[in-house]
Structure 1
Amino acid sequence: MRHQYKTFQAIEVGDGSDGRWAAHARGRWQEMEGLLTEEGRTPQGADRVRALFRAHMPELVPVLHRLAGRLDRPGAEAFLTHAALRPFSPACTQIGQNGTLLRNYDLRPDQCEGTIVSSCFLRPVIGMQDMLWGLLDGMNDAGLAVSITWGGRSAYGRGFAVLVLVRYLLETCDTVDEAVGRLRSLPVAVPQNLTLVDPVKAMTVFVGPDMPLTVAPDACAANHQHLPVTDEQERTLRTRERLHALRAAGADVAAMLKPPLYRPVDEQGSGTLYTAHYRPAEGRVTYYWPGESWQQSFGDFTPGSRTVTLGRAG
């Protein structure tokens, strides 16, 4: 079995005004700026995405200005809107059950930022950051947790990368119902599945640029939505197999660390990068890898780094 190594780090950035977030973001800017679309690099395109951001996420506009000013790079504000980014499609699995959110995130190690961030842009939020301030998954101080998987379809439209939508929901919402209500009016660039959990409810919803928000049959998701999965898609992603295994296992960490839910590194270098187990009512999350774990919480957030071995399933 092929093994790779990935270093994860945990950082505190406060409200983004004291330089800690900017120091981290500047260190990643060179690899990030190439993800900005050609349209986003034009004055007209930058104006369009800023207007879209103001229209749909006005509460975060002061944060956008603050972070872009601290980053101080050409194109920074357009990039941070996440409305002019090249699409990406990770393969992930997630379930909400009994007040917890459990997910596996699968991708190439070099395509994942691997940064656990504790922030207080509008309120306390902890999550796995990507694209400088977006979130792959996270929780807030109200007890709401959200994570995403790719919806498995190639549709693309004008809208936001889902990572900034997760950030927005956690910054502005207290409950699953409130978050789903806001999500209905937010344009998303590519099909995505979001699983949301609060102390009393768990739900998965399907969104995309070509469809209205649709509530899934249960609070779990792999990499397909409401349409039938083709044989080719199943061979590539094993999405039906993973969803069946997830439903059978429930929110069980041990099952997430074994095939078929845990995906060893394949020939393309892609595999399960981490398992995250959120207990948002307790303000606590534990990240797992085979043989290793790292717990963080609002009451005891510990900055640092961990280098883990990928590709060895339990």
Structure 2
Amino acid sequence: MGQQQKTFQAIEVGDGGDGRWGTYAHALWPEMEGLLTAEGRTPQGAGRVRTLFRAHMPELVPVLDRLAGQLDRPGAEAFLTHAALRPFTQSCTQIGRNGTLLRNYDLPPDQCEGTIASSCFLRPVIGMQDMLWGLLDGMNDAGLAISLTWGGRSVHGGGFAILIVVRYLLETCDTVDEAVARLPSLPIAVPQNLTLVDPVQAVTVFVGPDIPPTVAPDACAANHQHLPVTAEQERALRTQERLRAIRAAGTDDVVAMLKPPLYRSVDEQGSRTLYTARYRPVEGRVTYHWPDESWPQSFGDFTPGSRTVTLARAE
């Protein structure tokens, strides 16, 4: 296995209205617009997803308007609703315990923006941003942290990409209980697992277009939900093996996250572990880890910049 590198950046975007977010989004738009569905490119489809967004995420409508105005491209508003995006899947592992959220994020490197964003759209939020303002994982100033994994089932329905759901929950909720109570009102396009942590509790919730939000037996997840895992799925994803490993590791063992089976080298689809994130939301701190380095960020000391990291050592 040879070395592969990826550049991650950390940016501050404020409330999205002063041009910093717009500069970032304009640079990425040529590769983003291809992810918009055919329906999202029509006036009728764009109207439908805006209506869906207004109905289910009304608090974020002013932010949507502000960001769409900054981007100012055909299809931008429909894209930013995250209700007209092509479905995608990720092979990730995560656990919440004792006020800490620990997760590995796995995807082909060229499909992840690799942007740590500090924003204040409705409140202070720090997280790994994707699809221009969605979040793969993040925390807010109230001490709530959330991360996602794919639920492992090939089902797709009308609704939001999970990235904007994570953003919405962190922008509007203070606690795990508040966030879990919001989930039944949010249509979600693809089966996903959310792990949520606040200062007093941690839970994992299974969500998807064909199931009601379902609290998992414990606050950890890989890439399956409550249904049996087929032998083929286990061979491809090693989801049950990773779940056992992260349960054993807990939230303090970052070293275990950087070794197999939790740390994954390239699979048949080109997916691999891109980063490990350890959130301590009550302290307002997160540290991103790779095999050879780490990058701490916090609300009190957020450092913009970029780092090119090695994803795997040569063998």
Q: TM-score over 0.5 for the alignment?
A: yes
CA distance in 1 between counterparts of 2:23 and 2:297 reads 22
State the AA in 2 paired with 1:112: C
Instruction: Report the equivalent of 1:275.
Output: 276
Instruction: Report the equivalent of 2:93.
Output: 93
Would you say the 8 A contact 2:194–2:204 is kept in 1? yes
1:185-226 Cα shifts (integer Å, max 9, x gaps): 100000000000000000000000000000000000000000
Long gaps (5+) in structure 1: none
Percent same amino acid at aligned positions? Answer: 83
Would you say the 8 A contact 1:135–1:167 is kept in 2? yes
Instruction: Report the equivalent of 1:188.
Output: 188
State the AA in 2 paired with 1:145: A
Q: Give secondary structure in 2 for the equivalent of 1:184.
A: helix
Would you say the 8 A contact 2:9–2:306 is kept in 1? yes
Long gaps (5+) in structure 2: none
Instruction: Report the equivalent of 1:216.
Output: 216
Instruction: Report the equivalent of 2:177.
Output: 177
Would you say the 8 A contact 1:193–1:221 is kept in 2? yes
CA distance in 1 between counterparts of 2:216 and 2:268 reads 32
Instruction: Report the equivalent of 1:233.
Output: 233
Aligned length: 314
CA distance in 2 between counterparts of 1:153 and 1:31 reads 27
Counterparts in 2 of 1:14-93, with a 5 A limit? 14-93=14-93
* 1:256 Cα offset (Å): 0.5
* 1:295 Cα offset (Å): 0.3
Would you say the 8 A contact 1:262–1:313 is kept in 2? no
State the AA in 1 paired with 2:97: Q
Instruction: Report the equivalent of 2:286.
Output: 285
* 1:265 Cα offset (Å): 2.6
Instruction: Report the equivalent of 2:199.
Output: 199
Q: Give secondary structure in 1 for the equivalent of 2:297.
A: strand
Would you say the 8 A contact 1:176–1:198 is kept in 2? yes
1:14-68 Cα shifts (integer Å, max 9, x gaps): 0000000000000000000000000010000000000000000000000000000
Instruction: Report the equivalent of 2:116.
Output: 116
User: What TM-score does the superposition give when structure 2 sets the normalisation length?
Assistant: 0.98
Instruction: Report the equivalent of 2:12.
Output: 12
Would you say the 8 A contact 2:129–2:135 is kept in 1? yes
1:228-284 Cα shifts (integer Å, max 9, x gaps): 000000010000000011111111211111100000233543210000000000000
Would you say the 8 A contact 2:292–2:310 is kept in 1? no
State the AA in 1 paired with 2:219: A
User: What TM-score does the superposition give when structure 1 sets the normalisation length?
Assistant: 0.99
CA-based RMSD: 1.1
Would you say the 8 A contact 1:290–1:313 is kept in 2? no
1:149-179 Cα shifts (integer Å, max 9, x gaps): 0000011000000000000000000000000
1:107-135 Cα shifts (integer Å, max 9, x gaps): 10000000000000000000000000000
Greater mean deviation of Cα atoms: 257-266 or 164-173: 257-266
CA distance in 2 between counterparts of 1:313 and 1:142 reads 41
State the AA in 2 paired with 1:68: A
Instruction: Report the equivalent of 1:104.
Output: 104
Instruction: Report the equivalent of 1:310.
Output: 311
